[in-house]
Each structure stands twice: as C-alpha cells, then as structure tokens.
Amino acid sequence: MNWHITHAWILGAAIPTALFLFARAVLLRFRLLRACAPVPDAVAEHGTRIKEVLTIFLEQKKLFQDFKPGVMHAFIFWGFLVLSLRTVTMFGMAFYGFDFHLPGLGPDTLAGQGFEVLKDAAVAIVTLMVLYAMVRRYVLRVPRLINTPDALFVLLMILGLMVTDMLFEAGLRGASSPLTGHAAFQLHCLGILAFLVYIPTGKHMHILTSVFNVYLRPLHRSGRLTKLPLEDESVETFGTPNIEHLTWKEALDLYTCTECGRCTDMCPASATNKKLSPRDVINKQKHFLVDDEAARLLSGDKTKEPSKDMVPDVVSAQEAWDCTTCQACEQACPLNISHVQRLNSMRRSEVLMKGKFPPELKRVFKGMQTNGNPWGMGAEKRMDWAKGLEIPLLENTPDAEYLLYLGCNAAFDDRAQKVSRSLAALLKAQGVSFAVLGESETCCGETARRLGEEAVGQALIEANVELFKELKVKKIITPCPHCYNTFKNEYPDFGGNYEVFHHSELISKLMESGKLKPVDNSQGRAVIHDSCYLGRVNSVYKPSRDILAALPGLEVTEHERSEKKGFCCGAGGGRFWLEEGEPRINHHRVKQLLETKPSVIATSCPYCLKMLSDGIKDLGAAGVEVRDLVEIVSGTGAGPEAKNEPGN
C-alpha cells in the first residue's frame, strides 16, 4: 500500500471540508457581531494597544495572577506557538513525503536541528501540562472549574494530538512499526482538522478572538460608565433590553470567554452565594446569541420579536442587581472581558425602559431627584458635620485652591461625619487653601448611574458641572473614592475637567514633605482594606501604605485579598442602598480581615467605613476598630481612645 498517496487523498478531501465548516462557523459569528450595536468610542491609541497585546500574550501577564494554572496555560500557549510550525510541516508531508520541511528548517541546517529539539520539548511539555490540567479538574476538583463535556473533549483532543505526534515520530525514527507511524500521522492530521472545525463552536473560540478582544478593549478610565445619549430623540432603547443591544465588542467578549471561572472566583457576590456569577452571565448571553437568536438576527427582519427578554429571561433581575461593580472580575479575567458595563446596561434598561427596580430604591431615586442626595436629606442638613469648625464656603472664598467635596455619605452619615471633621481640621491645621460648597453640594451622580438611573445621574452631573464652572473649580479633594472616580473618569464626558485628589493622596504628600507630623497614638496592628474604586479601579494604593508606614509604633499588615485582589465591602454599585440576604459581603470581608488579628481596620472610603463597622458590630468582634486613614493620622476616630476630636 502506498501510504503517501493514501495520506494525500484523505487529507486532500478532509482539508477543504474542514476549512469550509470552519469558515462557515466563523462567518456566522462575525455576522452576528455586525448585527449588534456600535461601540460608543472610536478605537484609537494603537501603539498602547499593541503593547498591551504583546504583554498579555507573550508574557501571559494576567494569567500569572493565579500562578500555577498561569504557568500551565503559558506553557501550553508557548508550546502551541512552536507546534503550529510543526502542523504546517505535517500537512506538507502528507503531499510531498515525510522528508518535507519548511524553508530554512531542513535537517542539515542548524535552525532545522534546533527546531527538532524545540518541537520535541514542546510536545513533552504540552503533554505534561494537559495531564496537570486534568489532575486539577478531575482529581483536585478546583472549585472554579466547571467540568463540562466541552472541557473534557478539548483536553482529550490536545492529549491525543501530542500522543499521535510522538507515535508518528517514533515510526519515523524506527522505534515503532511503520504502520503505527502512518496511522498516528493520519490521526494527528485529521485530529487537527477536527479541532479546527470545533474551535469556533466552543469555548476555544478564544484562540481566534482573544488577540482582537484584548486589542479592542476600552482603554483607560476603567471606572467610567458610558454616557447614554438621553437627549437624542432618535434613540429609542437604552441599555440592553435585547441581545442585539450589546455592543459588538461586548458580543466579541462572549466568544472570547474560556469559562475559566477566574472572574467568579474573585466575585464577592459569588463568594457569598448570591445568584450572580460573572462567568455564567457571559455564558448565558453567549448561548442566547448564538443558539437562540442567530436566525432572527441574521434574517434581516427587524419586525421579528426576540424569543426572550434579556432581563429576566436570559439573566435574572437578581443577578443584575447583585453586582457591587467592584471590578474584581475584570481584574482577574485574563482576556479583558467586560462585566461591569454589561451588568449596568441591564440595570439601565430595567430602570429607564421598564421602570423596574428593587422597591427599596424608590425612596433613593426620589431623594436624589428632589433633594439631590440618596438620603433624601434637606440641604440645610448638609453642613451639620462641620458645626463649630468654621469651614470656608467656596462662594465666599473664590481664591481657594481646592474644593473640598465631601460627598453624601461623608456629609450625612453619623460615623462618616467624624471623618469629614478630622479631614477638614487637618487641612486647616496644615494651611491648605480649601473651601466647601456648603448647602449647594449635591450628589456627584455616581449612585444614580450605578443603579441604572442614568437620567437622574446625568442631571446631577450637569448641574454640578455648571456650578463648578461658575465657581471656577479647578482642583477637588474628596474623602470618597466613589466621588473621586466619578469626577476623574466620568465628568470629562460632560465637559467637567478637574484635577482630582483623594484625601489619602494629599495627606501622603503633606507627610512626605515633613509638614504633617502624625500624632503618636496609633500603637497597635492595622490591616489595610482597599476601597475598590480607589484601588482596583484607579490604582491608588501607595498613599495609604506610605501614610501608615510612616506612623510611629503602628504595625501594618495586609490580607492576601488586598490591592488588585482586594475584596469589596459590599456597598459599591449602589448596593449600599439595597437589601442583602445572608451571608453578607461585609461579614465575609470582616472575617477575612480578622484573620490578620488586627486592632484597627484602616479604610479610606466612607462606604467601606460604614460596612465594615457594621460587620464588626454584627460579628461581635470586640477590640477591633474601623478607622479612616485621616483619623489614624490625626488620632481621631469613633472609639473612646479618640483623643483629638476636631472642634473640641
């Protein structure tokens, strides 16, 4: 039997068939992308994007956040880069004989000999890594991995490709029978083609899309929600009432998800048994788009109704409202898939188009509409925190360098008011030129936007931008990371451009210059809790660490869930205003922090302060106090040891 003619005939028929099926599946998915909504921002800054792609793919940077599986995936990825040349060579062998080689890689060239060694090493390493992946899934049963038939098929397929490659090589070198070698060769080539056909239909579509997905991701300002064109009368839908209202980039995310579960593993809602799992949201949307809605979307008939509503049929309302917008999922995702905007868009369509939202939000939305704050407090109460402190008003102090913008929580919440007093007292004592808006201060708009009430959010922002313009505001200091993020990352979309400082940044600078000498009453052991909106969203980690490190007698420690891996307090995304079932996120976080045996939990956000204080109280953790950085520096706080209550 002439094996080479057989190989050529079989593969001569199989290759065009496989390419046809592959192209058909890819084209269908590409046409579905085109049926989705446009992305609001132009794709620019190509240099930065190319750098990002190279870092993420060649260094496999984000995968190494989870070290062992990161190493495993990186070796499989690098191994496949080498083996792609091997695959081309083997298809060449089918038609030109087993002594075929790629130009420059002949057996008598140094490059060819080097490639042989590299290829053998790649086959061995990929085999070992696949076996390790199987152990993780089926022996160790790593919780974040779901053992679908898809996952098993892919692992067996890769293992099969490596084994047939080894058997073929053994046949070539005379270490096994020629029959085994030829059979292995044919099986290997057919296996590659089968894998090619399978790729676009399963979770390994990421092999094709991930480069584009990383390249096209929204750059910078990760804490920015897109601005809805509410004034454009031609726009009839807001958010994502149906699957085609996803942007094509959000749909590309769906194809790119590998179902690795890293997002869900880091999600505070998932960790506390809430309905929300970011991986599941992605997967539900993917299957709905490709399996249920493809025919309708590609029919071109715009009168056809979708088979289901996005909320509650594809994704439940509870899932959409469970999200704290903490971005732990996006930080963990190796492929830069976006979850926060996706979940927020579902809230937007629920609120703006259907008027549906959890009942407890009725009062919150009304408070923001009528009183300019979610507490619904009258403007005359806005300066209660400052009694006795003689804080200058910006309208009377036009030359003040900074606007001190407290935000609603720091202005109205009893506990957070103490932080506001400490901060204002510290700024005064340091001679910082600042003033406040007083009774004219209203909500920055963050809460309304996170809760999907974009109309109220935009109205608040527009009013603030106007007021800040009148008062010639250029620099803002705020103790609230949510206001910080909104001023910094969202106000530019509304024409408001300011230099924005979180109070930790300013205090750290004052300490660094030697001007601010910390009060030495801080003996004890402090654990740092990072606010999501200051830390993960805006990468401001250093100032709080510098401040605490400079305090005499204070031992500073961190939990393993800190900085980029920080765990939310449960208040973000407007969840502060929503009921939460047991187990509660703030309890979970407090339990984590208590593992470090602290006497103080150091925070830098009024929401975290409240959530963690409540958690400490609920769990009866006597002897542990939650204090803002400014209180730790000033020797003030909630507890009886607070010696320097400002204004006393």
Residues lying near ligand SF4 in the complex (CB under 6 A): 257-263, 266-269, 276, 278-279, 282, 323-329, 332-333, 335, 337, 339-340
Residue closer to ligand SF4 by CB (options 162, 451) is 451
Residue closer to ligand SF4 by CB (options 346, 507) is 346
Residue closer to ligand SF4 by CB (options 266, 436) is 266
Residue closer to ligand SF4 by CB (options 164, 327) is 327
Q: How far is the CB of 598 from ligand SF4 (least distance, A)?
A: 24
- Give residues with Cβ within 8 angstroms of 84, minimum separation 6: none
Report the distance separating Cα 98 and Cα 91, nearest Å. 10
Neighbours of 384 (CB within 10 A): 13
Q: How far is the CB of 449 from ligand SF4 (least distance, A)?
A: 15
Please provide residue 37's backbone torsions phi and psi, each rounded to the nearest 5 degrees. Answer: -75, 155
Residue closer to ligand SF4 by CB (options 74, 465) is 74
Residue closer to ligand SF4 by CB (options 33, 93) is 33
Q: How far is the CB of 340 from ligand SF4 (least distance, A)?
A: 5
Q: How far is the CB of 186 from ligand SF4 (least distance, A)?
A: 34
Two tokens, residue 229: 């064109």
Residue closer to ligand SF4 by CB (options 341, 613) is 341
Report the distance separating Cα 144 and Cα 112, nearest Å. 42
Q: How far is the CB of 327 from ligand SF4 (least distance, A)?
A: 5
- What is the CB-side half-sphere exposure of residue 296 using CA atoms within 13 A? 17
Residue closer to ligand SF4 by CB (options 349, 420) is 349
* The amino acid at 607: Y
Residue 138, SS3 per DSSP:
helix
Q: How far is the CB of 261 from ligand SF4 (least distance, A)?
A: 5
CB 487 within 8 A of CB 445: no
Report the distance separating Cα 100 and Cα 567, nearest Å. 56
Query: Shortest CA distance to 164 belongs to which of 191, 140, 139?
Result: 191
Q: C-alpha distances in angstroms, 243 versus 282, 289, 311, 349?
A: 12, 7, 10, 12
* Secondary element (H or E) of residue 396: none
Residue closer to ligand SF4 by CB (options 74, 282) is 282
Q: C-alpha distances in angstroms, 52 versus 42, 61, 76, 110, 218?
A: 17, 10, 20, 33, 12
Query: Shortest CA distance to 457 belongs to which of 471, 439, 445?
Result: 445
Q: How far is the CB of 110 from ligand SF4 (least distance, A)?
A: 40
Report the distance separating Cα 403 and Cα 433, nearest Å. 9
Q: How far is the CB of 336 from ligand SF4 (least distance, A)?
A: 8
Report the distance separating Cα 478 and Cα 402, nearest Å. 10
Burial class (CB in 10 A: 0-12, 13-18, 19+), 227: middle
